[in-house]
Chains A and B, each alone.
Chain A
């Protein structure tokens, strides 16, 4: 492409390329399997699952400018879809994943149709409101364990084969879905659909004046994003073997926003990098100190302030004054 780019810039572009992060996760799984480090495999699977959820949010947040503060709801609904289907004897992954997708999308369509009437901070808050409603509905369902949640019937099968018994198969499934979703969403952003979505983000009135239905485009993107979040939730249920309303708490919605914005909301791959970063910080600071959130907070603050504060002008002003 651009021949004049300097080496550091090219390296940075390579590091931020979506394929790099996904291949990195795959490499960790391979290394973990070869060295018998089960913990690496589990960690890579967890990072891939959360990256998938963050990626789904990034599609609406970065491309569509729709700051959803309730993405934990479709994520949790995907997990509950696995739990409920398992209670009814459906354990095949080929049935569970579509069900989880549908659960997320089916929640997002009506709530999104109402939420999309509002803009800006009001949109943030109405999506939070719907997520909180879902949280409290499941917290009250004593048949599904209520507040405490309950374990899923067993790990999923593939055409009768106990496929997800193995942690590394789950990791491969998560990484595969993450790669597929990345490719698909990337293609969607390059298609006319993606252009309309971005145009509506930047100039809603003009896009509408050109004859595009901003509302319909946003609603489709919103439901698609929620469906993918549902897939991530289903994988999370498979990994932990346990589903509880805590999956839908607003803390998780906030965490997903942090992942997306930390990695950079403008490009889809930012969400993947952000999610991996947060999982790593959580895991490795969590091993060394009880107060790992303080470290995570300092890291986030450092990233934001580095982006926001114009240190050069501050220094100049000191020198002038």
Chain B
């Protein structure tokens, strides 16, 4: 296990974690502010990747395609909220789970019917498709660095929005005291609408950024959805800060586990046992992490005072 390999895997883990953060941030906001369990969030990630892929192919420019893809994701967010989810807030969580699960089934099959089950191409944009040498012997793809940078930028933007602006203040107030905020003359349904659409756009952005690395296919939202739930539960529901910390931890644990678990196990057990147990332990690692966190802190790591959305 050389130092460069370790460095590359750490960067990969960071990049994966920040993609997860983009998905989880919207999910945790919708959950924390509106108390709404949205299983269809993974679908919004998938739709973002598809819209961007189609727009890039039509316009021939990644930048323009990305803008159109984000606009489309935002529009779909508005549409979903107005048509369906508006009626489900303040309802039983189980009804929400059922309805959003239905949305997953419908949208995934509709996408399959329109675009086919085969992955769509979404090439890395021109000029960002190379690799740069971070230090001697360590070349790293530029696109992955762009993903890391944009994830961190979104994290900063969210922190600023939530803690330093009037909108953020409304959001924080709305998450803890919706009735009071409403009584003060704020249209809380409108706040929810914008939070939801914004979250959908962030998920779409994550899909667009991950598209060139992973493949753009109908089922791409499924795995990300479960991982995003793991992230927000570890971080504490409603906490964007928790989502950031937890997504980076989950990204690193998962990536490093897959890269090194077998080699590490070989130090203590024989080769064939390690070859068998290594991948199992690596796949389980994040779930074990979540279970441990929940056993010791049953409501996640960052709750109450330490979350951005709750009193700050």
Contact of A114 with B295 in the complex, beta carbons under 8 Å: yes
Distance in angstroms from B242 CB to nearest chain A CB is 13
A117 to B300, CA, bound (A): 12
Task: Using A137-B280, A261-B97, A301-B99 as known contacts, say yes or no to A308 and B88 having CB atoms under 8 A apart.
Answer: yes
Contact of A305 with B87 in the complex, beta carbons under 8 Å: yes
Query: Which residues 256-304 of A have a CB within 8 angstroms of B?
Result: 257-258, 261-262, 265, 291, 293-294, 296-301, 303-304
Per a CB cutoff under 8 Å, which of B91, B93, B226, B283 touches A67? B93
Distance in angstroms from A107 CB to nearest chain B CB is 14
Query: Which residues 112-130 of B have a CB within 8 angstroms of A?
Result: 112-113
Complex interface: chain B residues within 8 A of A305 (CB): 84, 87, 99
Query: Which residues 173-199 of A have a CB within 8 angstroms of B?
Result: none
Query: Which residues 137-152 of A have a CB within 8 angstroms of B?
Result: 137, 139-142
Q: Which of the 9-residue segments A86-94, A121-129, A203-211, A220-228 touches chain B?
A: A121-129
In this complex, which of B87, B283, B287 has the most chain A Cβ atoms within 10 angstroms of its Cβ?
B287
Q: Is A132 an interface residue (CB 8 A)?
A: yes
B residues contacting the other copy or chain, number (CB 8 A): 43
Contact of B279 with A140 in the complex, beta carbons under 8 Å: yes
Task: Using A125-B230, A261-B94 as known contacts, say yes or no to A291 and B112 having CB atoms under 8 A apart.
Answer: yes
B92-108: CB near A (< 8 Å → 1, else 0) gives 01110111011111101
Contact of A121 with B298 in the complex, beta carbons under 8 Å: no
Per a CB cutoff under 8 Å, which of B31, B97, B300 touches A257? B97
A251 to chain B: closest residue by CB: B222
- Interface of B (DSSP majority class): helix
Contact of A140 with B277 in the complex, beta carbons under 8 Å: yes
Complex interface: chain B residues within 8 A of A262 (CB): 98
Complex interface: chain A residues within 8 A of B288 (CB): 129, 133
B62-102: CB near A (< 8 Å → 1, else 0) gives 00000000000000000000001001100101110111011
A106-117: CB near B (< 8 Å → 1, else 0) gives 000000001101
Contact of B287 with A132 in the complex, beta carbons under 8 Å: yes
A67 to B104, CA, bound (A): 20
Chosen A-B contacts, 15 in total, with CB atoms closer than 8 Å, are: A117-B295, A125-B294, A126-B290, A128-B226, A130-B291, A133-B287, A137-B280, A261-B94, A291-B110, A293-B108, A297-B106, A301-B103, A304-B88, A304-B95, A305-B84
- State the B residues within 8 Å of A (CB): 31, 37, 84, 87-88, 91, 93-95, 97-99, 101-106, 108-110, 112-113, 226, 229-230, 233, 237, 276-277, 279-280, 283-284, 287-288, 290-291, 294-295, 298-300
Q: A257-B94, A257-B97, A297-B109 are in contact. List 14 more A-B contacts (CB 8 A).
A: A117-B298, A121-B31, A122-B299, A125-B233, A128-B229, A137-B280, A140-B280, A142-B276, A297-B105, A300-B101, A301-B102, A301-B106, A304-B95, A304-B98
The 5 A-B residue pairs whose C-beta atoms are closest, nearest first, are A140-B280, A297-B105, A297-B106, A294-B109, A300-B102
